[in-house]
Amino acid sequence: MAENKNSRIIILVLLALLIGAAGLLYFQKQSNDEMVSNLTQEKESLKMELTELAEQYNVLLEDSDSLNRTLIAERDRILNLLDSIDNLQGDIRVLRRYRAEVFKLKKENKILLDRADSLIVVNRQLEAEKQKVEENLENAENLNSALTNENRRLDDQVNLGKRLQAYEIISGAIRMRGDKERTTDKASKVDKIKSCFMLSENLIADAGDKVIYVRLLEPNGNLMGKGMDEYAVEIDGEKILCSEKKTIYYENEAMDMCVYVDLPENTELEEGEYKVEIYTASAKIGESTFELRAGWL
C-alpha cells in the first residue's frame, strides 16, 4: 500500500511538472510569435519608408541635373539600407539601430529634398525664361529677316528708279565724205554706224560721269566693233561684250547724245536687219534696228 501511494504521488508530481513545462513552452511560443510579428511589422514599416524615400529620389533625378550625383549617392545609400533590413533575421537590437539610422536619414534627406525642390523650381523658372528669351530672339530674327527682305526690295526699287532710259533712238549707217557724213542704206557704202538717242531725266539717279555702251549685231547675230573686255558690261551675272562706249557727264536732266561704231577698212556688210542695243554699266536701257540693202546705187 505504501509503495502504491508513493508511486501515485510521483506520477502526480511528474504530471504537474509536465503541465507546467507545457504551459511555459506555450507562453514562450506566444511571446516569440508576438516578437516575430512585431519584428516583421517593423521591418515592413522601415522598408516602406525607405522605398518611399527612394521613389522621391527617382522623381527628383528626372528633374534635377545639378544635384544628380548627390541624389544618386543618397538613393543608393537608402537602397543598401533597404537590402540590409530585408535580409535581417529577427534581431530586435539591430532593428532598433536601423530604426535610428532611418530616422536620422529622413531628417538629413528632408533638408536635401527641400533644397532639391527649390532648385527644381528655380530651374523651371530659368527654363521658362530661357524659352521666352529664345522665342523673343526667334521673333527678332524673323522681324530682322523681314526688314532685311523689305530693305532689299526697297533697294531694288530705288535702283530701278535710278535707272536711265534711252528713247527716240535713231540708228543707221553713214558714209563719210571728208569731214561730212551722209546717211546710207546700202551695205557696200558704209563707213560707220551711228546711233543717236535721248537719255531720260531722272532726279534720283546719281549725277556724274556715266559710261554708255552700244552693242551692234549683224543680221546673223555676230557682234560688230571692239568686242573686248573693256567694252563689256555685266547684267544679272552675265558678261555682255559691246561694240563701243562713250563717257558722258550726267546732271539728272534729259540729254541728247550719239555714239559711233567705226568699221575696219574694206569691211563688207551683209544686207538685212541690224540690231543696236544700248546699255549702262548695270542695265540695258534701249534698243533699235535698221536695215541695209544690197547695191551700189
d(C-alpha 2, C-alpha 188), whole Å: 181
Question: Which of 242, 236, 214 shows the shortest CA–CA distance to 283?
Answer: 236
State pLDDT tens for residues 168-187: 999 999 998 888 999 999 98
Indicate if the pLDDT at residue 67 is higher than 60: no
Task: Map residue 144 onto helix, strand or coil.
Answer: helix
Indicate if the pLDDT at residue 265 is higher than 90: no
Alpha helices in the chain (DSSP H): 2-63, 68-86, 92-162
- Decide which of 244 and 154 is more confident: 244
d(C-alpha 172, C-alpha 187), whole Å: 11
- pLDDT attached to residue 138: 83
- Decide which of 134 and 154 is more confident: 134
Indicate if the pLDDT at residue 225 is higher than 90: no
Give Cα separations from 279 to 115, 210, 241, 257 (angstroms). Answer: 76, 11, 11, 13
Q: Report residue 227's pLDDT band, with 50, 70 and 90 as the boundaries.
A: confident
Question: Which of 272, 285, 290 shows the shortest CA–CA distance to 197?
Answer: 285
Mean pLDDT of 54-74: 61
* Mean of all residue pLDDT scores within the chain: 78
The pTM of the full predicted model, rounded to 2 decimals, is 0.53
Q: Report residue 229's pLDDT band, with 50, 70 and 90 as the boundaries.
A: confident
- pLDDT attached to residue 291: 95
- Using an 8 Å Cβ cutoff, are 216 and 273 in contact? no
13-16-17-21 Cα dihedral, nearest 10 degrees: 170
Amino acid at site 170: I
Q: Which residues are paired to 186 by β-bridges?
A: 293
Q: Which residues are paired to 233 by β-bridges?
A: 240
The angle formed by the CA atoms of residues 242, 248 and 249, to the nearest 5 degrees, is 150
- Which residue is associated with the grid cell 563701243? 244
Q: Which three cell numbers stand for residue 73?
A: 549617392
Q: Which three cell numbers stand for residue 139?
A: 521673333
| Residue 41 CB contacts under 8 Å (≥ 6 apart), including other chains | none
State pLDDT tens for residues 108-130: 667 766 766 676 666 677 778 77
Q: Report residue 264's pLDDT band, with 50, 70 and 90 as the boundaries.
A: confident
End-to-end CA distance of the chain: 189
